[in-house]
């Protein structure tokens, strides 16, 4: 049955396996204003910035732009190395609960004044202030992962951060903090901060026309590296076919999420070339285990571990990728990237899925249905995301779990509801990963009610392992705990059908800066 669906939906699901395809124009069309100047780069992506408030950003579409607007103490290379940026180095105290960042002396705010440790401290403590109500990556994910307590300045050049206990992931996690100048934000009303960015990074904001475009220009006060383009324009184009058409018309330099059936046309156009970019994004279907969904028929069923495991066996990920994406991909057994994985992924075994569902007390009824589920997900956030959800729903239906798909606008509906853990019973989502430490990936589930734990999964064994990691400095001991956490995740199955794929990256020289600055995921 499902192979008929595959033929009908061929070339869907490109983002399902994290192959992010960026199209790089090799020759510019001088007749078009958008690309007439060699010092302007025009990029199209599917979603707009969520906000210009750096502590309310979560999506990769926002991060792509934020990485150009605000500087960071440390950065992560494409190879997964944590390297100095605004901080030249850092040191730990003997107890391992305080890390001090030593700033460069050539950092500046927008008005040319010196950027100091006081600005670092303001940035970090501002994000931690609960009265601000921030819900972005730094306050809602990073701080819970590292146990952030407070920051203070020792002098103009040294800022110290206190955390709950030593963790090897602290430097990498804090590389996600966007540095702000205190004088720019201290007296800024929340609405003003949400609509205008005061830059400390290589570019500054010129214009933001919501859901249409964001225009950036080179920041003359940023001296760490010269931005290669005088201007960068991000155009918001939700439809993949429109992005391709605009590219081939010469109106764009870079687009994201290229449909597989358009690759040949682009590569033979003479003006553009598709190149694969390494990504670490995971696309997955999660189970919402919160009380608000436990009273529904399907919500009660997925509370049982055996049912979640059964649904893991029900989806044929390799076939999805081979027949729909025309490219192989790998199923993940846990959130951890393949370089660090220690457990095997679930194989496709519909017979075992049926057996587990029978044994769990959910036999097929006279109509062939065991129970019903709703799968909610975004529309036009990931390429063919609605088709992704429908494909998964069909697989579940094949083992007797009737699944209805509900698609929502990402920024206005799905993302806010996901933050409040109000998507379900199943939800299609994606989150970024990291090569620099498997702890980053495992930190998505620090507590039951954490923002990033959309499905409110709670495991005693998981919590015990998180606690055991605190203060561990021995890499072998850390690895042993991480491996056990991966096994716990696989057995508990709180998120299903998790898929990742990365291919080689080849970028034009002019775009190498963009490669490093952008998240390489959409």
DSSP sequence for 42-111: EEEESS--S-S-GGG--SHHHHHHHHHHS--SEEE-TTS-EEESSEEEEEE-TTSSEEEEEE-S--B-TT
For residue 8, what pLDDT is reported? 32
pLDDT above 70 coverage of the chain, percent:
87
**Distance between CA atoms of 131 and 151, rounded to whole angstroms?**
17
Please name every residue paired with 160 in a beta bridge, in sequence order, or none if there are none: 100, 152
Mean per-residue pLDDT, 488-506: 66
Q: Encode pLDDT of 425-481 as tens digits.
A: 999 998 878 888 999 989 989 899 988 999 999 999 999 999 999 999 999 999 999
* Cα-based torsion angle of the residue sequence 171, 175, 178, 182 in order, rounded to the nearest 10 degrees: 30
**pLDDT single digits (tens) 284-321:** 899 999 999 999 999 999 999 999 999 999 999 888 77
Contact 441, 339 (CB under 8 A): no
- With contact defined as beta carbons under 8 Å apart, do 104 and 87 qualify? yes
Q: Two tokens at 335? A: 């959130």
The Cα–Cα gap between 124 and 32 comes to 43
What pLDDT score does 7 carry?
33
**Residues contacting residue 196 through CB under 8 Å, at least 6 positions apart:** 52, 205, 208
Query: Given this model, what pLDDT does residue 38 score?
Result: 76
> What does the pLDDT read at residue 56?
96
Report residue 87 as tokens. 């901080």
Is residue 172 a contact partner of residue 434, using CB atoms and an 8 Å limit? yes
Q: Which residues of 173-209 are buried (b: 16+ CB within 10 A; e: fewer)?
A: bbbbbbbbbbbbbeeeeeeebeeebbbbbbbbbeebe
pTM (two decimals): 0.84
40: which strand partners?
231
């Amino acid at each position: 049955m499902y192979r008929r669906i595959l033929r009908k939906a061929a070339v869907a699901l490109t983002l399902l396996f994290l192959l992010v395809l960026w199209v790089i124009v090799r020759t510019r069309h001088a007749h078009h204003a958008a690309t007439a100047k060699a010092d302007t780069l025009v990029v199209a992506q599917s979603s707009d910035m969520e906000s210009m408030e750096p502590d309310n950003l979560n999506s990769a579409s926002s991060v792509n732009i934020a990485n150009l607007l605000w500087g960071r103490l440390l950065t992560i290379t494409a190879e997964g190395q944590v390297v100095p940026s605004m901080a030249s180095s850092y040191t730990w105290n003997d107890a391992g609960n305080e890390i001090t960042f030593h700033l460069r002396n050539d950092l500046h705010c927008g008005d040319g004044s010196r950027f100091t440790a006081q600005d670092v401290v303001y940035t970090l403590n501002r994000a931690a202030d609960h009265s601000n109500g921030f819900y972005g990556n730094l306050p809602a994910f990073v701080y819970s992962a590292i146990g952030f307590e407070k920051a203070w300045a020792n002098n103009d050049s040294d800022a110290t951060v206190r955390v709950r206990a030593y963790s090897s992931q602290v430097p990498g996690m804090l590389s996600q903090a966007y540095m702000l100048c205190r004088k720019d934000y201290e007296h800024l009303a929340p609405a003003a901060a949400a609509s205008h960015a005061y830059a400390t990074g290589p570019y500054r904001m010129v214009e933001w026309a919501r859901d249409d475009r964001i225009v950036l220009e080179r920041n003359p006060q940023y001296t760490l590296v010269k931005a290669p383009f005088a201007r960068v324009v991000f155009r918001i184009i939700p439809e993949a076919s429109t992005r391709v058409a605009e590219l081939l018309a010469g109106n764009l330099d870079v687009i994201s999420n290229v449909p597989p059936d358009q690759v040949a046309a682009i590569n033979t156009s003479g003006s553009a070339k598709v190149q694969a970019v390494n990504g670490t994004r995971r696309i997955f279907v999660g189970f919402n285990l919160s009380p608000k969904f436990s009273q529904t028929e399907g919500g009660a069923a997925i509370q049982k571990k055996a049912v979640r495991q059964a649904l893991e066996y029900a989806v044929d990920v390799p076939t999805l990728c081979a027949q729909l994406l025309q490219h192989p991909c790998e199923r993940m057994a846990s959130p951890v990237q393949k370089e660090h994985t220690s457990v095997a992924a679930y194989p496709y075994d519909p017979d075992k899925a049926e057996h587990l569902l029978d044994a769990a007390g959910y036999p097929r009824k006279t109509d062939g249905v065991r129970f019903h589920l709703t799968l909610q997900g975004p529309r036009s956030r990931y390429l063919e995301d609605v088709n992704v959800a429908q494909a998964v729903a069909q697989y579940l239906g094949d083992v007797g779990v009737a699944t209805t798909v509900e698609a929502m606008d990402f920024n206005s509906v799905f993302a806010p509801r996901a933050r409040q853990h109000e998507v379900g019973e199943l939800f299609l989502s994606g989150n970024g990963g990291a090569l620099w430490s498997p702890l980053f990936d495992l930190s998505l589930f620090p507590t039951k009610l954490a923002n990033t734990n959309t499905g409110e999964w709670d495991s005693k064994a998981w919590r015990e392992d998180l606690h055991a990691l605190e203060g561990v400095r021995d890499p072998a001991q850390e690895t042993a705990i991480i491996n056990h956490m991966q096994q716990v995740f696989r057995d508990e199955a709180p998120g299903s059908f998790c898929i990742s794929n990365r291919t080689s990256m080849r970028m034009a020289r002019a775009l190498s800066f963009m490669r490093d600055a952008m998240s390489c995921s959409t």
